[in-house]
Amino acid sequence: MTPRACWDWACERTGLDRVWDALMARHIPEARGPVAWFYALGSATLFVFTLQAVTGALLAMNYVPSPDHAYDSVRFIGSQVLFGRFIRGLHHWGASAMVILVALHMLRVYFMAAYKYPREATWIVGVTLFTLVMGFSFTGYLLPWDQKAYWATMVGTSIAGQTPVIGPYMSKVLLGGAEMGAATMTRFYALHVLVLPMVTAAALGAHLFLVVWHGISEPPRRKEQGS
């Protein structure tokens, strides 16, 4: 059986060729010069998100989410684990890159008016993704359990606690009690590696489906005189 015959066999049974055409052979707007690069910001965010998922999974193989061992396990990753320092570095800088890229992607969508009809739902799902990215940053920051992590989370949860009406409940739910401790770490870890990735994967699926379904918007053009 030739590779071509194998491909035809699979396509007839799964519709793979149509999925391929929808994803890879779709129309991309013609943008020249630096403007063309703005269209790569969403894909760049997607790339860094994938990198974070892979490096995060590798880190989780040696990280211990408990106040007694978290700090030492992070030091262990940095000093003893093969490529540990490199992988932690990628995850650390990847987190910052993700925030910067998602903000730039959002700005390009805004300034090119790509959020307008019919792409409002893509924008709304995008806002959810933005909130989720912030959630990853906030929950991940605590995990090394060093002074910076501890006090930054203390400040963050105190700010959440100042929200009118629901503030005290929010801070209690985040901390897992009245004070920061083992329960806070367990909660943040569960959010960081379970809840947020699952919700983000679902939101990303919806976002990318909408992007492919609508097609990418054309760059805005100056209105011709008289038209």
Residues that bind ligand HEM (CB under 6 A): 39, 41-43, 45-46, 49, 102, 105-106, 109, 114-115, 119, 122-123, 126-127, 129-130, 133, 204, 207, 211, 216-217
When the beta carbons of 23 and 182 are compared against ligand HEM, the nearer one is 23
Distances (CA, A) of 45 to 25, 37, 42, 123, 134: 21, 13, 5, 15, 14
CB of 36 vs ligand HEM, minimal distance in Å:
11
In the bound state with ligand HEM, the residue whose beta carbon lies nearer, of 153 and 200, is 200
CA dihedral (68, 71, 74, 75) in degrees, to 10, reads: -110
Residue type, 170: M
Of the two residues 181 and 215, which places its CB atom closer to ligand HEM in the complex?
Answer: 215
Closest contact distance (angstroms) between CB of 173 and ligand HEM is 24
Long-range CB contacts for residues 85-94, cutoff 8 Å, separation at least 24: 87/55, 87/58, 87/59, 88/55, 88/59, 90/51, 90/55, 91/52, 91/55, 91/56, 91/59, 94/48, 94/51, 94/52, 94/55
Query: Among residues 159 and 212, whose Cβ is nearest to ligand HEM?
Result: 212
- The least distance separating ligand HEM from the CB of residue 195, rounded to whole angstroms, comes to 16
CB of 93 to ligand HEM, least distance (A): 17
Minimum gap (Å) between residue 203 Cβ and ligand HEM = 8
Q: Residue 58 or residue 129: which is nearer to ligand HEM going by CB?
A: 129
